[in-house]
Amino acid sequence: MYRPGAKGLQQTLGALEAQVMNAVWDAEGEVSVEQVRKKLGEQGKDAAYTTVMTTMSRLHKKGLLTREMRGKAYLYSPSVSRRELDSSVIKQVVDGLLSTFAEPAMSYFVQALSESDPAKLDSLAEIIQQKRKEEEGD
């Protein structure tokens, strides 16, 4: 679900899910539930072990984390990078807008670009021109 009023990952994940993903990415390797729970605590976000465990399990089911049993506990790793998740979210949002509101979405996007950074309209025109050239070559 996309939440336009939220910030960052919380636009597509729950607040705790976003915090857990950031903690796993920051670890740069395999992490246990307890390591993530401690990292969240250091950031002032206290959560029970079972809450973090359930959240990480949910992220695993969503395909965002991989896990491997080591002894009696799972060790988790991100299955996507921050950039890959951002790209996936952008694709879902844009595909949803274009499938339902193509003309108004494109019009608003161009208007918003011109208001926020008119020079980006030139970049957009170049991207469109390049895409047309690629399609003509096919």
Query: From first to last of its 138 residues, what are the pLDDT tens digits of the chain?
Result: 556 665 666 667 888 998 999 999 999 889 999 999 999 999 999 999 999 999 999 999 999 999 999 999 999 999 999 899 888 888 888 888 888 889 998 899 899 998 998 889 989 999 999 999 999 886
Q: Are 82 and 41 in contact (CB under 8 A)?
A: no
The DSSP result for 92-132, as a single string, is: HHHHHHHHHHHHHHHHHHHHHHHHH-THHHHHHHHHHHHHH
Q: Does domain 8-80 have CATH number 2.130.10.10?
A: no
Q: Are 65 and 80 in contact (CB under 8 A)?
A: no
Each domain of the chain, given as residue ranges in start order, spans 8-80, 83-137
Here the tokens at position 132 are 């047309």
Here the tokens at position 21 are 């993903």
Query: What does the pLDDT read at residue 23?
Result: 95
